[in-house]
Amino acid sequence: MELGAVIREQRKRLALKQLDVAGLGNTGNRFIVDVENGKPTVQLQKVLDLMDLLGLEVVVRTKASRSTSSL
């Protein structure tokens, strides 16, 4: 599942509108729309802040298909 879709689902789970999240996150509604639509050029820190606001976190791990011997 794409990150924007996860963010959209969580926002809806919390019964928040895009404008609500924009106001709570002190950002523009356009940014929320762009993130949820998967725009590739959004600022990472702002996305992380948005995820934190919605109670989401990022977990980084090595891809299962990648061999560690090739590092």
Q: What is the tens place of the pLDDT at every residue in 25-54?
A: 999 999 999 999 999 999 999 999 999 999
More confident residue, 68 or 41: 41
Does residue 65 lie within any of the structural domains?
A: no
What is the pTM assigned to this prediction? 0.83
User: Domain tally for the chain?
Assistant: 1
Query: Does 71 score more than 80 pLDDT?
Result: no
Residue range of the domain that includes 19: 3-53
Does residue 48 lie within any of the structural domains?
A: yes
Query: Residue 28 maps to which CATH number?
Result: 1.10.260.40
Query: Does 70 score more than 60 pLDDT?
Result: no
Residue 50's Cβ-count burial label (10 Å; 0-12, 13-18, 19+) is buried
